[in-house]
Protein backbone atom coordinates (compact mmCIF):
# COMPACT_ATOMS: atom_id res chain seq x y z
CA UNK A 1 0.00 0.00 0.00
CA UNK A 2 1.20 3.50 -0.85
CA UNK A 3 2.14 5.82 1.98
CA UNK A 4 -0.23 8.72 2.67
CA UNK A 5 2.22 11.38 1.44
CA UNK A 6 3.77 9.26 -1.30
CA UNK A 7 4.85 11.56 -4.13
CA UNK A 8 5.19 14.65 -1.91
CA UNK A 9 8.69 16.13 -1.92
CA UNK A 10 9.77 18.31 1.02
CA UNK A 11 12.86 20.54 1.03
CA UNK A 12 13.82 20.93 4.68
CA UNK A 13 15.94 23.96 5.58
CA UNK A 14 14.73 24.01 9.21
CA UNK A 15 17.72 22.20 10.65
CA UNK A 16 17.12 22.53 14.39
CA UNK A 17 14.88 20.36 16.60
CA UNK A 18 11.38 21.64 15.74
CA UNK A 19 12.02 21.49 12.01
CA UNK A 20 13.55 18.04 12.25
CA UNK A 21 10.59 16.83 14.32
CA UNK A 22 8.21 18.18 11.69
CA UNK A 23 10.07 16.59 8.78
CA UNK A 24 10.32 13.30 10.69
CA UNK A 25 6.51 13.18 10.92
CA UNK A 26 6.14 14.09 7.24
CA UNK A 27 8.73 11.45 6.31
CA UNK A 28 7.00 8.82 8.43
CA UNK A 29 3.80 9.64 6.53
CA UNK A 30 5.57 8.90 3.26
CA UNK A 31 6.94 12.23 2.04
CA UNK A 32 10.37 12.36 0.41
CA UNK A 33 12.31 14.68 2.70
CA UNK A 34 15.49 16.31 1.41
CA UNK A 35 17.46 18.12 4.09
CA UNK A 36 19.22 21.00 2.36
CA UNK A 37 22.22 22.19 4.36
CA UNK A 38 24.99 24.61 3.52
CA UNK A 39 27.84 23.02 1.59
CA UNK A 40 30.10 22.45 4.61
CA UNK A 41 28.07 22.86 7.83
CA UNK A 42 30.50 20.72 9.80
CA UNK A 43 32.86 23.71 9.85
CA UNK A 44 30.46 25.48 12.18
CA UNK A 45 30.79 22.76 14.81
CA UNK A 46 28.02 22.14 17.31
CA UNK A 47 25.72 19.20 17.99
CA UNK A 48 24.53 18.57 14.43
CA UNK A 49 22.94 15.21 13.71
CA UNK A 50 25.05 14.41 10.67
CA UNK A 51 28.23 14.61 12.74
CA UNK A 52 27.24 11.40 14.52
CA UNK A 53 26.34 9.01 11.67
CA UNK A 54 26.69 5.78 13.65
CA UNK A 55 24.53 6.76 16.60
CA UNK A 56 20.95 6.74 15.24
CA UNK A 57 19.26 8.05 18.37
CA UNK A 58 17.15 10.80 16.87
CA UNK A 59 14.48 9.71 14.38
CA UNK A 60 15.38 12.66 12.12
CA UNK A 61 17.90 10.46 10.32
CA UNK A 62 15.24 8.16 8.95
CA UNK A 63 13.14 8.66 5.84
CA UNK A 64 15.25 11.58 4.67
CA UNK A 65 18.01 12.47 2.25
CA UNK A 66 20.73 15.08 2.74
CA UNK A 67 22.49 17.40 0.34
CA UNK A 68 24.62 20.50 0.66
CA UNK A 69 24.19 23.69 -1.39
CA UNK A 70 25.98 27.00 -1.00
CA UNK A 71 23.02 29.33 -1.47
CA UNK A 72 25.27 32.39 -1.36
CA UNK A 73 26.63 31.56 -4.82
CA UNK A 74 24.90 32.16 -8.14
CA UNK A 75 25.22 28.52 -9.19
CA UNK A 76 24.10 27.25 -5.79
CA UNK A 77 20.97 29.38 -5.99
CA UNK A 78 20.31 28.06 -9.51
CA UNK A 79 20.50 24.47 -8.21
CA UNK A 80 18.07 25.23 -5.41
CA UNK A 81 15.63 26.84 -7.87
CA UNK A 82 15.73 23.71 -10.02
CA UNK A 83 15.10 21.62 -6.95
CA UNK A 84 12.23 23.88 -5.88
CA UNK A 85 10.50 23.27 -9.22
CA UNK A 86 10.29 19.57 -8.32
CA UNK A 87 9.12 20.14 -4.73
CA UNK A 88 5.73 20.38 -3.06
CA UNK A 89 6.90 21.86 0.24
CA UNK A 90 9.75 24.09 1.36
CA UNK A 91 10.33 24.43 5.09
CA UNK A 92 12.81 26.84 6.66
CA UNK A 93 13.85 27.77 10.18
CA UNK A 94 16.04 30.83 9.61
CA UNK A 95 15.57 34.13 11.42
CA UNK A 96 12.92 36.30 9.73
CA UNK A 97 14.37 38.07 6.71
CA UNK A 98 17.25 35.65 6.14
CA UNK A 99 15.58 33.79 3.26
CA UNK A 100 14.86 37.11 1.52
CA UNK A 101 18.56 37.96 1.64
CA UNK A 102 19.36 34.51 0.25
CA UNK A 103 16.66 34.92 -2.43
CA UNK A 104 14.93 31.68 -1.41
CA UNK A 105 11.95 33.33 0.32
CA UNK A 106 8.33 32.49 -0.48
CA UNK A 107 7.80 35.35 -2.94
CA UNK A 108 10.85 34.21 -4.91
CA UNK A 109 9.96 30.53 -4.80
CA UNK A 110 6.31 30.90 -5.80
CA UNK A 111 7.52 32.50 -9.03
CA UNK A 112 9.53 29.33 -9.67
CA UNK A 113 6.73 27.02 -8.51
CA UNK A 114 3.25 28.53 -7.93
CA UNK A 115 2.10 25.29 -6.29
CA UNK A 116 4.75 25.40 -3.58
CA UNK A 117 3.68 25.25 0.08
CA UNK A 118 6.25 27.28 1.97
CA UNK A 119 6.49 27.01 5.77
CA UNK A 120 8.56 29.30 7.97
CA UNK A 121 9.14 28.13 11.54
CA UNK A 122 10.47 30.72 13.97
CA UNK A 123 10.41 31.63 17.62
CA UNK A 124 8.12 34.66 17.48
CA UNK A 125 6.72 34.66 13.94
CA UNK A 126 7.36 36.72 10.83
CA UNK A 127 5.89 39.97 12.18
CA UNK A 128 5.25 41.70 15.49
CA UNK A 129 7.60 43.54 17.89
CA UNK A 130 9.60 40.40 18.77
CA UNK A 131 10.11 38.98 15.28
CA UNK A 132 13.88 39.66 15.35
CA UNK A 133 14.44 38.54 18.95
CA UNK A 134 16.51 35.35 19.21
CA UNK A 135 15.50 32.53 21.51
CA UNK A 136 15.21 28.87 22.34
CA UNK A 137 12.56 26.59 23.82
CA UNK A 138 12.98 27.92 27.37
CA UNK A 139 12.30 31.47 26.18
CA UNK A 140 9.14 30.57 24.25
CA UNK A 141 7.59 28.62 27.13
CA UNK A 142 8.50 31.53 29.41
CA UNK A 143 6.86 34.29 27.39
CA UNK A 144 3.95 32.01 26.48
CA UNK A 145 3.06 31.57 30.16
CA UNK A 146 3.83 27.88 30.56
CA UNK A 147 7.06 28.20 32.55
CA UNK A 148 5.50 30.64 35.01
CA UNK A 149 2.76 28.17 35.88
CA UNK A 150 5.06 25.17 36.31
CA UNK A 151 6.66 25.36 39.74
CA UNK A 152 9.07 23.19 41.66
CA UNK A 153 8.94 22.46 45.39
CA UNK A 154 10.91 25.65 46.07
CA UNK A 155 8.37 27.77 44.21
CA UNK A 156 10.74 28.64 41.36
CA UNK A 157 9.75 27.95 37.73
CA UNK A 158 10.61 24.34 36.83
CA UNK A 159 12.08 23.75 33.38
CA UNK A 160 10.43 20.75 31.65
CA UNK A 161 12.69 17.85 30.71
CA UNK A 162 11.55 17.96 27.06
CA UNK A 163 11.24 20.75 24.52
CA UNK A 164 7.55 21.60 24.52
CA UNK A 165 7.72 24.73 22.36
CA UNK A 166 10.02 23.09 19.82
CA UNK A 167 8.27 19.75 19.44
CA UNK A 168 4.76 19.63 20.94
CA UNK A 169 3.95 23.18 19.86
CA UNK A 170 6.16 24.30 16.96
CA UNK A 171 6.98 21.06 15.19
CA UNK A 172 3.48 19.62 15.21
CA UNK A 173 1.86 22.96 14.37
CA UNK A 174 4.07 23.14 11.29
CA UNK A 175 2.96 19.66 10.24
CA UNK A 176 -0.69 20.69 10.62
CA UNK A 177 -0.13 23.90 8.65
CA UNK A 178 1.64 22.09 5.82
CA UNK A 179 -0.99 19.37 5.54
CA UNK A 180 -3.79 21.98 5.56
CA UNK A 181 -2.05 23.97 2.82
CA UNK A 182 -1.59 20.81 0.73
CA UNK A 183 -5.31 20.08 1.08
CA UNK A 184 -6.19 23.65 0.07
CA UNK A 185 -3.91 23.28 -2.97
CA UNK A 186 -6.00 20.34 -4.13
CA UNK A 187 -8.94 22.75 -4.44
CA UNK A 188 -7.22 25.89 -5.72
CA UNK A 189 -4.18 24.51 -7.54
CA UNK A 190 -2.02 27.05 -5.76
CA UNK A 191 0.34 26.83 -2.83
CA UNK A 192 0.57 29.28 0.05
CA UNK A 193 2.70 30.59 2.88
CA UNK A 194 2.61 28.98 6.34
CA UNK A 195 3.88 31.18 9.20
CA UNK A 196 4.45 29.19 12.41
CA UNK A 197 5.59 30.78 15.66
CA UNK A 198 6.60 28.51 18.53
CA UNK A 199 5.43 31.19 20.95
CA UNK A 200 2.01 31.35 19.26
CA UNK A 201 1.74 27.58 19.53
CA UNK A 202 2.60 27.61 23.26
CA UNK A 203 -0.04 30.28 23.88
CA UNK A 204 -2.50 27.95 22.13
CA UNK A 205 -1.52 25.08 24.41
CA UNK A 206 -2.04 27.36 27.42
CA UNK A 207 -5.72 27.87 26.61
CA UNK A 208 -7.11 26.30 29.84
CA UNK A 209 -4.90 28.56 31.95
CA UNK A 210 -5.36 31.77 29.95
CA UNK A 211 -9.12 31.60 29.44
CA UNK A 212 -9.97 32.79 33.00
CA UNK A 213 -7.82 35.89 32.41
CA UNK A 214 -9.67 36.56 29.16
CA UNK A 215 -12.98 36.79 31.00
CA UNK A 216 -11.63 39.08 33.68
CA UNK A 217 -10.72 36.66 36.43
CA UNK A 218 -7.56 37.24 38.44
CA UNK A 219 -5.38 34.16 38.73
CA UNK A 220 -2.12 33.55 40.54
CA UNK A 221 1.12 32.83 38.70
CA UNK A 222 0.57 29.17 39.40
CA UNK A 223 -3.00 29.57 38.17
CA UNK A 224 -5.06 27.16 40.23
CA UNK A 225 -7.08 25.06 37.82
CA UNK A 226 -7.93 21.45 37.18
CA UNK A 227 -4.47 20.70 35.81
CA UNK A 228 -2.37 22.01 38.70
CA UNK A 229 -3.27 19.38 41.27
CA UNK A 230 -0.83 20.21 44.05
CA UNK A 231 -2.73 21.34 47.16
CA UNK A 232 -5.76 22.09 45.04
CA UNK A 233 -7.56 18.95 43.92
CA UNK A 234 -6.81 15.69 45.74
CA UNK A 235 -8.41 13.78 42.87
CA UNK A 236 -6.07 15.36 40.27
CA UNK A 237 -2.63 15.02 41.73
CA UNK A 238 0.62 13.08 42.00
CA UNK A 239 1.35 10.96 45.07
CA UNK A 240 4.49 9.34 46.43
CA UNK A 241 4.26 5.62 47.15
CA UNK A 242 5.97 3.24 49.58
CA UNK A 243 8.85 2.44 47.22
CA UNK A 244 9.72 6.10 46.60
CA UNK A 245 8.03 6.15 43.20
CA UNK A 246 5.02 8.20 42.17
CA UNK A 247 1.52 7.60 40.82
CA UNK A 248 -0.69 10.07 38.98
CA UNK A 249 -4.40 10.35 39.75
CA UNK A 250 -6.89 12.06 37.44
CA UNK A 251 -10.30 11.07 38.78
CA UNK A 252 -12.09 14.14 37.45
CA UNK A 253 -15.56 12.72 36.75
CA UNK A 254 -17.66 11.95 39.86
CA UNK A 255 -17.99 8.27 38.96
CA UNK A 256 -14.21 7.90 38.69
CA UNK A 257 -13.78 9.73 42.00
CA UNK A 258 -16.36 7.46 43.63
CA UNK A 259 -14.43 4.38 42.50
CA UNK A 260 -11.19 5.91 43.78
CA UNK A 261 -12.61 6.59 47.23
CA UNK A 262 -14.03 3.09 47.50
CA UNK A 263 -10.71 1.47 46.58
CA UNK A 264 -8.79 3.77 48.95
CA UNK A 265 -11.16 2.89 51.79
CA UNK A 266 -12.63 6.35 52.25
CA UNK A 267 -16.20 6.24 50.99
CA UNK A 268 -17.01 9.00 53.48
CA UNK A 269 -15.28 11.45 51.15
CA UNK A 270 -17.35 10.64 48.06
CA UNK A 271 -19.82 13.48 48.64
CA UNK A 272 -17.00 15.94 49.28
CA UNK A 273 -15.20 15.85 45.93
CA UNK A 274 -15.47 19.61 45.47
CA UNK A 275 -14.98 20.55 49.10
CA UNK A 276 -12.84 23.58 49.95
CA UNK A 277 -10.82 24.62 52.98
CA UNK A 278 -10.30 22.19 55.85
CA UNK A 279 -12.28 19.33 54.30
CA UNK A 280 -10.24 19.43 51.11
CA UNK A 281 -7.02 19.54 53.13
CA UNK A 282 -8.26 16.55 55.12
CA UNK A 283 -8.91 14.53 51.94
CA UNK A 284 -5.51 15.47 50.52
CA UNK A 285 -3.79 14.41 53.75
CA UNK A 286 -5.63 11.09 53.77
CA UNK A 287 -4.74 10.37 50.13
CA UNK A 288 -1.10 11.32 50.74
CA UNK A 289 -0.72 9.03 53.77
CA UNK A 290 -2.65 6.17 52.18
CA UNK A 291 -0.58 6.06 49.00
CA UNK A 292 2.57 5.73 51.15
CA UNK A 293 1.34 2.37 52.48
CA UNK A 294 1.90 0.40 49.25
CA UNK A 295 4.26 0.42 46.30
CA UNK A 296 3.38 2.17 43.07
CA UNK A 297 2.74 -1.04 41.16
CA UNK A 298 0.66 -2.47 44.01
CA UNK A 299 -1.57 0.59 43.88
CA UNK A 300 -1.88 0.33 40.10
CA UNK A 301 -3.08 -3.26 40.42
CA UNK A 302 -5.63 -2.25 43.05
CA UNK A 303 -6.90 0.94 41.44
CA UNK A 304 -7.20 -0.51 37.96
CA UNK A 305 -9.77 -3.01 39.19
CA UNK A 306 -12.24 -0.20 38.44
CA UNK A 307 -12.12 2.94 36.31
CA UNK A 308 -10.15 5.47 38.35
CA UNK A 309 -7.86 7.25 35.84
CA UNK A 310 -4.46 6.37 37.32
CA UNK A 311 -1.07 5.88 35.71
CA UNK A 312 2.50 5.39 36.90
CA UNK A 313 4.97 8.27 36.80
CA UNK A 314 7.64 6.64 34.66
CA UNK A 315 11.35 7.21 34.29
CA UNK A 316 12.66 7.25 30.69
CA UNK A 317 13.98 3.70 31.16
CA UNK A 318 10.52 2.52 32.22
CA UNK A 319 8.84 4.20 29.25
CA UNK A 320 10.92 2.32 26.69
CA UNK A 321 10.21 -1.03 28.42
CA UNK A 322 6.49 -0.55 28.89
CA UNK A 323 4.46 -3.32 27.16
CA UNK A 324 1.84 -0.87 25.91
CA UNK A 325 4.47 1.37 24.27
CA UNK A 326 5.98 -1.71 22.65
CA UNK A 327 2.58 -2.99 21.48
CA UNK A 328 1.75 0.41 19.97
CA UNK A 329 5.06 0.53 18.13
CA UNK A 330 6.19 3.66 19.96
CA UNK A 331 9.42 1.87 20.82
CA UNK A 332 10.36 -0.07 17.74
CA UNK A 333 13.25 -1.66 15.88
CA UNK A 334 13.77 -0.69 12.28
CA UNK A 335 16.27 -1.97 9.71
CA UNK A 336 19.46 0.09 9.54
CA UNK A 337 22.01 -0.12 6.70
CA UNK A 338 25.07 -0.36 8.95
CA UNK A 339 23.76 -1.44 12.36
CA UNK A 340 21.38 -4.14 11.21
CA UNK A 341 18.63 -2.80 13.44
CA UNK A 342 18.17 0.43 15.35
CA UNK A 343 15.79 1.09 18.23
CA UNK A 344 13.72 4.16 17.53
CA UNK A 345 10.80 6.20 18.76
CA UNK A 346 7.99 5.02 16.50
CA UNK A 347 5.56 7.12 14.45
CA UNK A 348 3.11 9.16 16.48
CA UNK A 349 0.38 8.82 13.83
CA UNK A 350 -1.02 5.45 12.77
CA UNK A 351 -2.89 5.16 9.47
CA UNK A 352 -4.80 1.96 8.67
CA UNK A 353 -4.12 1.95 4.91
CA UNK A 354 -0.73 3.65 4.95
CA UNK A 355 1.49 1.98 7.57
CA UNK A 356 4.79 3.44 8.72
CA UNK A 357 7.98 2.19 7.10
CA UNK A 358 11.61 3.23 7.45
CA UNK A 359 12.41 3.60 3.76
CA UNK A 360 15.90 5.06 4.00
CA UNK A 361 18.46 6.55 6.37
CA UNK A 362 20.77 9.53 6.21
CA UNK A 363 24.03 8.13 7.58
CA UNK A 364 26.23 11.10 6.76
CA UNK A 365 26.02 14.69 5.62
CA UNK A 366 25.65 15.13 1.86
CA UNK A 367 24.99 11.43 1.35
CA UNK A 368 22.39 11.98 -1.37
CA UNK A 369 23.81 15.08 -3.10
CA UNK A 370 25.02 13.22 -6.19
CA UNK A 371 21.76 11.27 -6.52
CA UNK A 372 19.63 14.41 -6.34
CA UNK A 373 21.91 16.34 -8.70
CA UNK A 374 21.66 13.57 -11.28
CA UNK A 375 17.87 13.72 -10.99
CA UNK A 376 18.13 17.41 -11.83
CA UNK A 377 20.08 16.57 -14.99
CA UNK A 378 23.65 17.29 -13.90
CA UNK A 379 26.44 15.07 -15.26
CA UNK A 380 29.12 13.40 -13.14
CA UNK A 381 31.72 15.79 -14.54
CA UNK A 382 29.62 18.85 -13.70
CA UNK A 383 28.84 17.51 -10.22
CA UNK A 384 32.56 17.05 -9.52
CA UNK A 385 33.34 20.59 -10.65
CA UNK A 386 30.60 22.02 -8.45
CA UNK A 387 31.85 20.02 -5.46
CA UNK A 388 35.44 21.07 -6.06
CA UNK A 389 34.23 24.68 -6.12
CA UNK A 390 32.42 24.05 -2.81
CA UNK A 391 29.08 25.01 -4.33
CA UNK A 392 27.64 21.64 -3.31
CA UNK A 393 28.69 19.27 -0.54
Catalytic member of 136, 232, 272, 368:
136
Catalytic status, residue 166: yes
How many angstroms separate the CA atoms of 14 and 92, rounded? Answer: 4
- Which residue in 70, 129, 121 sits closest to 95, CA to CA? 121
Round to the nearest angstrom and report the end-to-end CA distance of the chain. 35
Catalytic member of 105, 137, 166, 200:
166
Helices 17-28 + 172-188 axis angle, to 10: 50
Q: How far is CA 143 from CA 45, 126, 201, 229, in A?
A: 29, 17, 12, 23
How many angstroms separate the CA atoms of 385 and 290, rounded? Answer: 74
- Which residue in 130, 72, 128 sits closest to 98, CA to CA? 72
- Which residue in 240, 268, 251 sits closest to 303, CA to CA? 251
Catalytic status, residue 54: no
Q: How far is CA 356 from CA 160, 256, 310, in A?
A: 29, 36, 30
Residue 97, beta-bridge partner list:
none
- Which residue in 223, 253, 212, 222 sits closest to 236, CA to CA? 253
Catalytic residues: 136, 166
Amino acid sequence: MAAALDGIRVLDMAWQGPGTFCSTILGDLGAEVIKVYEAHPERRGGPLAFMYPDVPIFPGWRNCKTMGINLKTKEGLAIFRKLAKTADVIMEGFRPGATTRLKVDYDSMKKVNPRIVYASLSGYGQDGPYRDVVGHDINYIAIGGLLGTTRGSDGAPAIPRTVLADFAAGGMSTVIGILAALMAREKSGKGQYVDVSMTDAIVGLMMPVLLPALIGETISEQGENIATGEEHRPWYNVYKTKDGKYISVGSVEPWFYTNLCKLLGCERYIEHQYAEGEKRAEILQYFTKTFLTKTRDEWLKILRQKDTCVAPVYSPEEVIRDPHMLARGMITKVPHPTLGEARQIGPIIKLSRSPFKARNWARRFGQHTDEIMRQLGYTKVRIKKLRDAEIIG
